[in-house]
């Protein structure tokens, strides 16, 4: 069996001091899977500012499918979703190792949602990049506000000044599925994370609650390409007739 193309570990604050530097530490119990092509000997943490931190790396974006409730507060724990977070490197003709590549995978459900939010924040800090989060749940947004990282959240163009993230409605989910289908057509071999591949094969746009990996990875792709929808969607988001079928069954497992 071939060696996996990723390293398991965690992003951690250097010397446990927040808002300074983030390092990646390998660990068999880590919550992150980091692509081996990410050169840890390079200087990352592309961030500037003292009190108000600013991300400087426009080549990387992160997509997040969050959760809000503590594990102990959920009655049916078998149905609870995972927190999903994926980093994605945009096209770069000078870097074939990372161009249009998922840099890391995070699929986990810490007991306390704040631990998940902080994990995502540290990943964003390490890469110095902005985050597109599904905003149907407010906990993630509120946490970034409290930590002073609200400007790191991608805001939709033309939306309200206070709006951060993207709503998982009919139109946006179709945009996500279209973007992922286009990406897969040309870059399947670049998806090295088995859980993401399996989730894509099981993706159901009409019932995507269980597809935490596809949704988080898809938001990263949407943020990277900022694709425009070519098809008008009916306003009634409750109608199942508004959905198109997206079939990812031609993905080859690697």
Mean pLDDT throughout 15-37? 98
Cα(125)–Cα(47) distance, integer angstroms: 7
Note the pLDDT of residue 231: 39
Residues in the chain: 254
Give the list of residues 6+ apart from residue 220 with CB closer than 8 angstroms, or none: 61, 62, 63, 86, 87, 88, 102, 132
For residue range 127-160, list pLDDT tens digits in order.
999 999 999 889 999 999 999 999 999 987 766 6
pLDDT of residue 78: 58
Is-contact 131 62, C-beta < 8 A? yes
In the predicted model, is pLDDT for residue 62 greater than 80?
A: yes
Confidence of residue 71 (pLDDT cuts 50, 70, 90): low
Is the CB of residue 125 less than 8 Å from the CB of residue 57? no
| CA angle, residues 104, 71, 167, in degrees to nearest 5 | 60
Could you give the domains of the chain? Answer: 6-157+165-242 (3.30.420.240)
Question: What separation, in Å, do the N-terminal and C-terminal C-alpha atoms of the chain show?
Answer: 11
Q: Global pTM?
A: 0.86
Residue 102's nearest CA partner among 202, 181, 217, 215 is 217
Structural contact between residues 81 and 235, judged by C-beta atoms closer than 8 angstroms: no
């Amino acid at each position: 069996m071939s060696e996996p193309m990723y390293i398991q570990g965690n992003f951690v604050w250097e010397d446990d001091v927040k808002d300074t530097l983030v390092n990646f530490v390998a660990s068999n119990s880590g919550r992150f899977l980091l692509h081996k092509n990410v050169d840890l000997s390079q200087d990352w943490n592309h961030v500037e500012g003292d009190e108000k931190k600013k991300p400087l790396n426009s080549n990387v974006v992160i997509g997040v499918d969050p959760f809000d409730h503590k594990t102990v507060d959920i009655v049916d724990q078998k149905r609870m979703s995972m927190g999903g977070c994926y980093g994605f490197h945009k096209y770069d003709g000078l870097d074939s190792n990372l161009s249009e590549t998922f840099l890391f995978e995070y699929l986990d459900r810490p007991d306390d949602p704040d631990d998940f939010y902080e994990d995502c924040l540290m990943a964003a800090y390490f890469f110095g990049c902005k985050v597109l989060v599904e905003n149907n749940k407010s906990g993630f947004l509120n946490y970034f506000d409290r930590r002073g990282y609200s400007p790191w959240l991608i805001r939709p163009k033309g939306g309200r000044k206070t709006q951060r993230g993207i709503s998982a409605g009919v139109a946006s989910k179709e945009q996500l599925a279209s973007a992922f289908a286009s990406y897969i057509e040309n870059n399947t071999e670049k998806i090295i994370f088995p859980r993401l591949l399996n989730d894509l094969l099981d993706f159901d746009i009409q019932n995507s609650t269980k597809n935490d990996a596809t949704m988080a990875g898809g938001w990263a792709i949407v943020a990277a390409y900022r694709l425009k929808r070519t098809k008008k969607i009916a306003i009634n988001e409750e109608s199942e007739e508004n959905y198109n079928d997206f079939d990812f069954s031609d993905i080859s497992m690697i």
